[in-house]
């Protein structure tokens, strides 16, 4: 009998890309998301010829845990991959309690439900380097946490809760921490698609703090591959980092996009004040994932940006009709 996957947050960029990979591999997949399925150009799994192995279930972690629990008991998953949660760093300062309710309280309740699912072999926790705070050197896997925003605090708190669940009950959590996602089908307000859209439409790109912060960016298909291999080869209780070795400032990232589009960044980029609590650098080593899981990123940043530009251009008329800014959903 094969694996049975549940992807929570299945309509997210990473979630939809992962679902696409799993159903292409012939896996049985249940997707759970609080929002209904949106336009097809945001859902890579709809680009395939068949979705016969996929079922979508609309439910909210904050409101529908009983329904989710019943669905999980019926589906009998062997692997649960959790990509759900309140995102956005700056916005988390506006109402920290909402981030804590979703990313800590609701998740802790979900984990209690999962402990009763006898079929479950692994729970893939998708976390963030922001739990470490700003870094001056490349960071190995470590429990030395130093979150500096409500968003990061919420991730660190549930990571620690899961660590305790593993230590006490051997709850089969596999911790994964990822560099910044990007690629075709990403939300429009993220830096790579946002830069492309503003450059193509004559809009304005606000570059917070002049774009001096340093990040690594991992292509959507590489994210899906990383989660897949973590589920197949990862060990419960272990932490794995997934990042490229291309660390780049946001300013230089924008410049790279502009070079491919043959657009002068000075024509649409405006420097604005930095966001509160923004960390200067997130630098993670992926050596453990490379040596123990056999994973490495396949798509370099230049190629990934080119693919994202093609996706934006192919869907630009529909994209221009949609909101370009993040809209908070409580």
The enclosing H or E element of 29 equals strand 28-33
265: domain CATH number? 3.90.25.10
CB atoms within 10 A of CB 54: 21
SS3 of residue 131 by DSSP: helix
| pLDDT in the model for residue 118 | 96
Q: Tell me what pLDDT residue 49 has.
A: 63
Tell me the backbone φ, ψ of residue 30, rounded to 5 degrees: -110, 120
- What confidence score (pLDDT) does residue 50 get? 67
Residues 124 and 189 in one domain: no
Same domain membership, residue 195 and residue 149: no
Q: Are the CB atoms for 224 and 14 separated by under 8 Å?
A: yes
Same domain for 169 and 235, yes or no, is yes
User: Residue 32 has what pLDDT?
Assistant: 98
Give the pLDDT confidence score for residue 199 in this predicted structure. Answer: 96
Distance of CA 48 to the CA centre of its chain: 22
Over residues 81-128, the pLDDT tens digits come to 999 999 888 889 999 999 999 999 999 999 999 999 999 999 999 999
Q: Count of domains in the chain?
A: 2
Residue 231 contacts residue 279 (beta carbons within 8 Å)? no
Mean pLDDT by 10 residues, the chain (330 residues): 90 96 94 95 86 93 97 98 91 93 97 97 96 90 90 97 98 97 96 97 91 95 98 98 96 97 94 77 95 97 98 96 81
Can you give the residue range of the structural domain that contains 306?
184-215+246-281+299-320
């Amino acid at each position: 009998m094969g694996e049975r996957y549940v992807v929570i947050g299945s309509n997210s960029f990473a979630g939809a890309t992962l679902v696409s990979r799993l159903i292409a591999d012939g896996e049985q997949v249940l997707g759970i998301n609080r929002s209904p399925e949106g336009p097809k150009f945001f859902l890579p799994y709809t680009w395939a010829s068949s979705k016969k192995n996929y079922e979508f279930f609309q439910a909210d972690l904050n409101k529908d845990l009983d329904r989710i629990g019943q669905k999980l008991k019926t589906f009998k998953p062997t692997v649960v991959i959790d990509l759900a949660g309140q995102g956005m760093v700056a916005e988390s300062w506006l109402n920290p309690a909402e981030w804590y309710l979703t990313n800590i309280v609701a998740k802790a309740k979900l984990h209690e439900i999962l402990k009763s699912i006898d079929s479950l072999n692994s729970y893939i926790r998708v976390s963030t380097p922001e739990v470490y705070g700003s870094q001056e050197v490349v960071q190995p896997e470590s429990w030395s946490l130093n979150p500096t925003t409500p968003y990061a605090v919420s991730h660190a708190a549930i990571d620690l809760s899961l660590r305790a669940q593993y230590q006490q009950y051997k709850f089969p959590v596999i911790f994964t921490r990822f560099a910044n996602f990007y690629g075709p089908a990403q939300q429009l307000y993220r830096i790579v698609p946002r830069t492309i859209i503003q450059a193509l439409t004559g809009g304005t790109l606000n570059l917070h703090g002049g774009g001096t912060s340093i990040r690594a960016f991992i292509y959507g298909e590489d994210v899906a591959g990383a989660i897949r291999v973590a589920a197949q080869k990862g060990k419960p209780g272990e932490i794995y980092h997934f990042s490229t070795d291309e660390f780049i400032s946001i300013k230089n990232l924008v410049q790279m996009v502009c070079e491919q589009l043959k657009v002068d960044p000075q024509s649409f980029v405006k420097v604005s004040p930095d966001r509160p609590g923004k960390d200067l650098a997130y630098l993670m080593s992926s050596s453990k994932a490379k040596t123990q899981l056999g994973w490495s990123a396949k798509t370099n940043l230049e190629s990934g940006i080119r693919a994202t530009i093609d996706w934006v251009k192919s869907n630009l008329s529909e994209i221009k009709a949609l909101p370009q800014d993040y809209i908070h959903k409580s």
